[in-house]
Amino acid sequence: MRGAPFLDELRQWLPSNDELVRPLIALATLTPEGYPDTRHVLLSEFTDEGFFFHTDARSRKIEELTSSPRASFSIAWPQLGRQLSVVADVEAASAVEAAAVYQRRSYYLQVLAWLNDDAYTALALPERQRIWAEFEAEHPFGTLTPPPTWAGALLRPRRVTFWHGRPDAASQRTEYTLTPDGSWLTTVLPG
Ligand SMILES: Cc1cc2nc3c(=O)[nH]c(=O)nc-3n(C[C@H](O)[C@H](O)[C@H](O)COP(=O)(O)O)c2cc1C
């Protein structure tokens, strides 16, 4: 989305990439049967290329994206009268990008990325707590690198919609649609 007409507005709405607290997006992928499948994930960062989230390579969302590399997400700030909705093509993020994001994650989330699998989750809570504490003792803050299962996804937008609410007139959307020649078509729509 290099040179896209909405980049300035995105920068105003989203926190900068180095801020620790990340926005939460409702991310939809498609099941093999074609049903939308939605869950919340952290929006790790956005760049001229698009929007990135990170997850476990063994997760259902990655399985779904592998067979159908399309997604959408939405995020709203009701108090500010804002909603951002994006429809995108998806590809794997580079290992370099994913590793950089991992280093910016909190220590808790770094540990989680190593331990959060089927085998661990099947254990009783005292056992999970013991393993967690042992792992932390063996891998103090600042020493962790991403596990092999750490995966990043890049959402390259095809449609970006800014919803503007206001108390003194009807809400309105400004929508940007990617055209075949690579330019962005701007449309103003009712909210
Ligand atoms: C506040 C919050 C933040 C979350 N952040 C992430 C995230 O950044 N990446 C991720 O894979 N899952 C995250 N999750 C968990 C997902 O919502 C989801 O349960 C998990 O990724 C499994 O999804 P899947 O089976 O559809 O792949 C988060 C959940 C919550 C409630």
Is 69 contained in some domain?
yes
Is 116 contained in some domain?
no
Rounded mean pLDDT, 110-119: 97
Is 17 contained in some domain?
yes
Q: Classify residue 8 as left (phi > 0), alpha (psi -120 to 50) or beta.
A: alpha
Q: How many domains does the chain have?
A: 1
Is 128 contained in some domain?
no
Query: Pocket residues for ligand 1 (CB within 6 Å)?
Result: 24, 39-42, 53-56, 59-61
CATH code (residue 175): 2.30.110.10
101: CB partners within 8 A, 6+ apart: 44, 45, 52, 54, 152
Supply 49's token pair: 């290329």
Counting ligand 1 atoms within 8 A of each CB, the residue from 37, 55, 106 with the most, and so the one to mutate, is: 55
Cross-strand partners of 45 = 52
pLDDT of residue 132: 98
Is 26 contained in some domain?
yes
Domain range spanning residue 93? 7-105+148-190
Is 135 contained in some domain?
no
pLDDT of residue 2: 87
Look at ligand 1, atom 22, and give the residue with the nearest C-alpha: 59
Rounded mean pLDDT, 65-78: 98
Which band of pLDDT confidence, cut at 50, 70 and 90, is reported for residue 1? confident
Is 163 contained in some domain?
yes
